[in-house]
Amino acid sequence: MKSATLTLETLHHLSEGLAADFKQQMESAVMDCRQRPSLPDKREVTLKLTITPHPEDPDDVLIQPVTLRKMPARKIEPVRARRTSKNQLQFDFVDEEGA
């Protein structure tokens, strides 16, 4: 087992698969931009390190890396619905197949 000082250069050694997961999150964000160019909102990829005290040794810490991706939601117009006498919701729509 080897040891390393935690830096940006050594970050990929922190957890097996971290670099691959980060790469996949980045590729997904770029693909989303290509697939939905009409959504100008930003896509975010975050590498987060959660650091907590080690329960058995106060001089050590536990580091948990997490990669996160945030994509803009597709904007869908609200649909008006009415409550029926049986407390169900009923809404109107255009039937494009049977038009």
- With contact defined as beta carbons under 8 Å apart, do 68 and 26 qualify? no
**pLDDT single digits (tens) 53-78:** 999 998 999 999 999 999 887 777 77
Phi and psi at residue 69, in whole multiples of 5°? -130, 135
Tokens of 50: 């959660």
65: nearest Cα among 2, 6, 5: 6
**pLDDT single digits (tens) 2-44:** 889 999 899 888 888 899 999 999 999 999 999 999 888 999 9
Tell me how far apart the alpha carbons of residues 75 and 36 are, in angstroms, rounded to a whole number.
12
The strand pairing partners of 45, in sequence order, are: 69
Residue 72's pLDDT is what? Answer: 84
Confidence tier at 98 by pLDDT (50, 70, 90): low
Residue 99 above 60 pLDDT? no
- With contact defined as beta carbons under 8 Å apart, do 42 and 72 qualify? yes
- The whole-model pTM stands at 0.66
Tell me how far apart the alpha carbons of residues 51 and 61 are, in angstroms, rounded to a whole number.
6
Residue 95's pLDDT is what? Answer: 79
Q: How is the chain split into domains, by residue range?
A: 1-71
